[in-house]
Amino acid sequence: MSIFAISRTIRHFYFNYHHSESTPIWIHSAFIQRIQFSFRQVICFLFVGFLAYGTQLANQLSLEYLVPIISILCLQQTFGSTLSCCYQITLAITPLSIFLFVIKKIGLGYHNYLATELLLLFTSFCVAYGCTQVQTRKFSLLYNVIYFAGNFSNPSILSTYSFELLGVYLLGMVMALLVSLIIFPLFATFDIENRFNYSLSKLQRIYTLTIQAFLCPDKMSAYMSLTRASLIENMVHNALTPIPMKLDKAHFEPARLLQKIFNRKHRHIIDLTLQNDFTSQTINLQEAFKLLRTAYITTSRHQVKHALEIETTIQSEDHLSHAFFLFQLDAIVQLLTQIMTNDNRKKDISKISKKNTINLKEQLKLQWPRLLSSLKSMVIIGVGSIFVLVPRLAAAFENGQWILVTLCMA
């Protein structure tokens, strides 16, 4: 193996940028990605822990223990997932911190148990109803209960405490993004490409096994080939199932920049913006197939006419391979046409759904599942808050705030 091949393998392994035709099989495995993600979490914990406790930053933070926790919990398997998680959390806790600052500034709460409890339940209900994603809701509720626990235990705390807590969250999320970008980065764009390359290679294997089963002389060999094709089909299905979710995360990644950095020849990275080119190429393929089919029929007629004139016999085996090829090509054209038609239908449906979301009545309409889930979260936090807000229980449970934190993250 040459030095160039070794360096290319190391680069593909570190950046998770794989090519099925030039990369060893073991690099594609999910086990290697889990090992990389575990190593990324360890590095994140060690780096952020050192930053929070081993530098001068520890003297300026009042909640330095939260920085490693936030970083570890925000760190996801792909960079796009981490960025999406941090973005959703920031959108949720920024207005909450402003609201809590205003409440503290005008002095509406935190003077007694009842006022603090009612305000805690109100904000918890609003956060739980407003956050549609489970992880974002947990982080926002955690922010809320830590803020109220700190204010009730120390009434003389500064009014800017909500922004200090917001700064701790932002610091932890920035550290998670840096680690996800530097240590064994896995981009959702590359992950989608790797899954497509893997699926295409397996589909080629399914095609070969199907042809072998078609040409097998005995039923047992044909059955074995079809069974192997079915197993590979399940593997392809498992590889393609997470792609819709990963496509949502890939929108947060600079796909064009990654394309310029890692592959300027545009041979491997999937370009999801070439819908018009795909449509035109499909139409050209349909026209070419019609011309090919017409030429084949004309040639067959001339051959039959010529055979009748010279009184010879035409062997069916001579036309079997050509007819089977046309059958395969027709199936491919129909499949591409169906994909294009279904995509256009999805576009029409998406346009209709966008029009429906503009309707103000639909936006103001209560969603009962979310409402019930929000009420459940509010009740759970209300029960857990008594270990912090009730003086006797707070004295009996010295670390009662951790009970409340556990209930938020459960």
Q: Please enumerate in sequence order all residues whose Cβ is within 8 A of that of 41, keeping only pairs 6 or more positions apart, or say none.
A: 72, 75
Looking at residue 10, its pLDDT comes to: 78
In terms of phi and psi (left: phi > 0; alpha: psi -120 to 50; beta: otherwise), the region of 16 is: left
d(CA 174, CA 178): 6
Q: Which residues, at least 6 apart from 362, have a Cβ–Cβ distance to it below 8 Å? A: 356
Contact present, 79 and 253 (Cβ < 8 Å):
yes
DSSP annotation of 20 reads T
Tens place of pLDDT per residue across the chain (410 aa): 678 777 777 777 787 765 555 555 556 677 888 898 999 999 999 999 998 888 887 777 778 888 998 999 999 988 989 999 999 999 999 999 999 999 888 876 556 677 788 888 899 899 988 888 888 899 999 998 888 888 777 777 888 889 999 999 999 999 999 999 999 888 888 788 777 777 777 877 877 887 777 777 778 888 888 888 888 888 888 888 887 788 778 888 877 777 666 665 545 544 444 445 555 666 666 676 677 677 667 766 776 676 677 766 665 555 555 565 666 666 666 665 665 555 444 544 454 445 444 455 555 566 778 888 888 888 888 888 887 777 677 777 766 677 777 777 76
Q: Given this model, what pLDDT does residue 402 score?
A: 75
Residue 358 is predicted with a pLDDT of: 47
Distance CA 329, CA 323 (A): 10
Element (H, E) at 326: helix 317-358
- Domain range summary for the chain, segments of one domain joined by +: 34-184+374-409, 187-273, 274-365
Provide the b/e sequence for 208-246 (b: ≥16 CB within 10 Å). Answer: ebeebbeeeeeeeebeebbebbeebeeebeebeeeeeeb
